[in-house]
Amino acid sequence: MRLPNLLATARGRLTAFFLLYLTEGIPLGFAATAVATQLRRQGVGPAEIGAFVGAFYLPWAFKWAYGPVVDVFASSRLGRRRGWILGMQAMMVLTLLSTVMLDLPRQLGLFTVILLVHNVFSATQDVAIDALAVNTLQEHERATANGMMFAGASLGQAVGGSGALFVAAQFGFQSSFYFVCGAILLVTLFVVLPLKEAPDPAWEAKRGGGLHAALREMLSFVVNAFRSFVGTRGAFAGLGMALLPPGAMCLGLALQSNLAVELGLPDDQVAWLNLWSTVIGAAGCVLGGLISDRVDRRKALNVYILLMSVPVLVLAFILQREGWITADANRAGLHNAALGSLVLAFWVATLSYALFNGMMYSTANAIFMDVTNPAVAATQFTAYMAMANLAISYSATWQGIGIESWGYPKTMVIDGFFGLAYLLLLPFTRRRPGDPEGFTDSLAPQRARKLALGLALMCLAWLPVHYEESLLGPAQPIAGVLFSLIFVGSAVVLLAGGAVLLQERPALAKTAMGFSALTALLLLRKFLADAPAPVQTVGHGLLYLVPVLTAALLWQLARRPWRDLAPEPDPAPAV
């Protein structure tokens, strides 16, 4: 039987992108719910589980870097985007199958690495699917298609989380790996293989650039992104917002799975909880979007984020009152079984949180679109979303550490109030009456200088923190994530800032652009302990020298006037 090419019709396109996004949600749901639940049952601590879930989101935080590669390197025979989707889905299945025989939790480190690679393939697939959507969807289909995509991703998380747990409860945990692989392969066989992507003559004409074309594309990306982020007050505030958790996060991450195990919920109940929270969250996204389109969007988001903290803080109070505090309570014999009222409170808190979280999600993304320059929409919006994934990653990491250090209630209270910091930046995204039209104003150079100076000071802060990192105790991994973010930001500013200043100060610009690669290598510092002794000696010296030189170059950039970022003056009226 000949399968239809779903891209040929409007209804087929909506179906295709719904199912393609389904395959993106499956790995996330599988790791954050099914695997996290199983690991907790096997005695793995919340800190390790939090780090595991946090690491799983990291490839999505850097998916902006995959775009130029997907754009430049492709197969005309398989289809410019279809070839990437086929290849990535095949690699997703292979990497997942390679973990079936691993011994958990003993080989948790290797398991985490393999799933991290697995999610690199998933994130790369996302870039290719988005590019295919841009190229094939008609203008009047895009809003509906985006709703279908989100629904597909949500359902995919339910399939990977709840579906895998249902299968595990009936046939054992190992069978859930085959279930997840089978779900992805069904989409590959019945959706991706029959697709016939329309030819792209413009791309065919430009083929042959190879690596040089990819490097030019990457440089163009960072320059355009830099201009967009500092161009207006709203875009600059959006940068800070994307790096903060948008409200309380704990009931949507590994803390929820950990607590479900602590309270004695069996796999089938955890699966039903995940399924209902996913469905309610998707409904909340639609409801929140409808409301925020009819009232002031920022006021609506204030309400949604405040409401997200309510179930978190109420549940924290109930847990504290009942003495259900630490992750070791069950093992120490402090509790034999959770009270029925406590389990009910957990269900109510989780489901109500899912509703408010969904309402927040659609509204926050709309605000990011409001401050995004349409001329570089794919670049800027993707970068916001990538940084938002990084916020999820470090939130999962610190919450796992917090559970072991302070217990569940205190961790939840901190999370409930820390999430409100997002609201401090929200007013700055509103366009003021006196603001000029467009996406660059006269203060763009000043913002660039402030950004460079702020990063320079944070690079210098690394020196005492690294010298006495033992003083940080259990917070050391959180500081590591923070400084990794600082080094990434510094490398991007050196590269993009140097490109912007190439005409004004060529020597400084070329030095900054060249040094950016060395700054980015600081992300590999955690692998230094496994290196040979001579490499360790040199490496430890560079861990002090490179941040100092990076700070010096950023300080030099902060002293420049950045005239090229200022908006073009209005032409003089004809006399």
Cα 261 to chain centroid, rounded: 26
Q: For residue range 219-266, list pLDDT tens digits in order.
A: 666 676 677 788 888 889 988 898 899 999 988 877 787 788 788 888
Q: What is the 3-state secondary structure (H, E, C) of 55-93?
A: HHHHHHHCHHHHHHHHHHCCECCCECCHHHHHHHHHHHH
The whole-angstrom separation of Cα 506 and Cα 503 is 6
Give the number of C-alpha atoms closer than 13 A to the C-alpha of residue 473, restricted to the C-beta side.
Answer: 5
* Distance, CA of 249 to CA of 247 (rounded, Å): 6
Distance in angstroms (rounded) separating the CA atoms of residues 476 and 467: 12
Residue 81 tokens read as 């985007």
Query: What does the angle CA 82 – CA 140 – CA 64 come to, to the nearest 5 degrees?
Result: 45
Closest CA to 227 of 566, 507, 517: 566
What local confidence, expressed as pLDDT, does residue 575 receive? 44
Q: If we measure between CA atoms, which residue out of 21, 278, 288 comes closest to residue 145?
A: 21
Phi, psi of 404 (to 5 degrees): -75, -30
Q: What are phi and psi of 27, to 5 degrees?
A: -65, -35
Helical spans, DSSP H, in 473-532: 476-500, 506-520
Express the helix, strand and coil content of the chain in percent, nearest 5 each.
80, 0, 20
Q: What does the pLDDT look like over 436-467, one tens digit per residue? A: 677 777 888 899 999 999 999 999 999 998 88
pTM value surpassing 0.75: no
* Cα gap 567→446, rounded to integer Å: 13
Block residue for tokens 């949507």: 252
β-bridge partners, 79: 75
Instruction: Give the pLDDT of the chain (575 residues) as one tens digit per residue.
Output: 577 888 888 888 888 888 998 998 888 888 878 888 888 777 777 777 777 777 777 777 677 677 667 776 777 778 878 899 999 999 999 998 988 888 777 787 888 888 888 888 988 898 888 778 777 877 566 646 665 777 788 888 888 888 888 888 888 888 888 999 999 999 999 999 998 887 766 656 655 555 666 666 666 666 766 777 888 888 899 888 988 999 999 888 777 877 887 888 887 788 788 788 888 887 887 788 778 777 888 899 999 999 999 999 999 999 888 887 765 555 554 454 557 788 899 999 999 999 998 888 878 877 887 887 765 655 677 778 777 877 887 888 788 888 887 888 999 999 999 999 999 999 998 887 767 677 777 888 899 999 999 999 999 999 998 887 766 666 676 677 778 878 888 988 898 888 888 777 889 889 998 899 889 888 778 777 777 888 888 888 999 999 999 999 999 999 988 877 776 655 444 44
